[in-house]
Amino acid sequence: ATACLVASRLGVSEKPAFDIAIACSGFIYGLTVASGLIRSGVYRRIMLIGAETLSKILDRTDRSTAILFGDGAGAVILERSEQDSFLASDLGADGSRPELLYAHGSGARQPIDHAGLDAKVQLIHMQGPETFKLAVTKMVESTDSVLSKANLTKTDVTFLIPHQANRRIIDAMARYLELPDEKVVVNIAEYGNTSAASIPLALSETVRAGLLKPSDLVVFVAFGGGLSWGAVAWRWTA
């Protein structure tokens, strides 16, 4: 597991470390799992990392995918506190349409061989128009759902920090949610789609810019391979 190697290089010995392999939705799922472990009293402090090197599995001849993706990494440290920042989570998955966004090869189901390499089975393939429609729909639904679970409304949202899939998806989602541009964090022009790294990267830039204040309501939302999606409502306390 990559997490074990990272922990070792950080000098964190004999502590639990594990991967969550769910592509672009990874940070949302990880935030939900880590928050649950802290809130239940199992652990006091957890490091959550989102990292991808998608450049290694891009088909450079396919402009529909090659121009979208980038490499990146971002991390947060979650710690138990008197005020619970985690307000609600909404997760979903649908494995009935994996052909919309996938890389067939390199796993146990389809080990890489010469024929597979020639067929580019190890590279990312995406059906853009269908993925676009489903991504917008599911991220809007998940955002609405997580706000409902937290007994909040869209007017309560200080910032929406979405997975940086592409600008058209983000703009369409914000339009359906009726959120003004100043409430939606976008940095895809700088880094591209970095999958599980995109939300922590965007969060880091928002924090460094001094935009987040205590008690601000942040909604994180993502859609990715699997297919998978999710959202988290978070009360900022830092």
Catalytic residue among 4, 104, 166, 193: 193
Catalytic residue among 114, 163, 166, 187: 163
Q: Which two tokens stand for residue 160?
A: 């929406």
- Sheet of 159-162: strand order equals 86-93, 228-235, 217-224, 159-162
Is the CB of residue 161 less than 8 Å from the CB of residue 218?
yes
Catalytic residue among 24, 104, 114, 166: 24
Q: Is 151 a catalytic residue?
A: no
Instruction: Give the three-state DSSP class for 87.
Output: strand
Residues contacting 152, CB < 8 A, separation 6+: 87, 217, 233
Q: Is 193 a catalytic residue?
A: yes
CA distances in angstroms from 236 to 76, 108, 124, 181, listed in the order given: 13, 41, 35, 20
Q: Which two tokens stand for residue 18?
A: 């594990």
Q: Is 24 a catalytic residue?
A: yes
Instruction: Give the three-state DSSP class for 187.
Output: coil
Is the CB of residue 191 less than 8 Å from the CB of residue 70?
yes
Please state, in angstroms and rounded to a whole number, the distance separating the CA atoms of residues 23 and 49.
13
Nearest by Cα to 212 from 85, 83, 75: 85
The catalytic site residues sit at 24, 163, 193
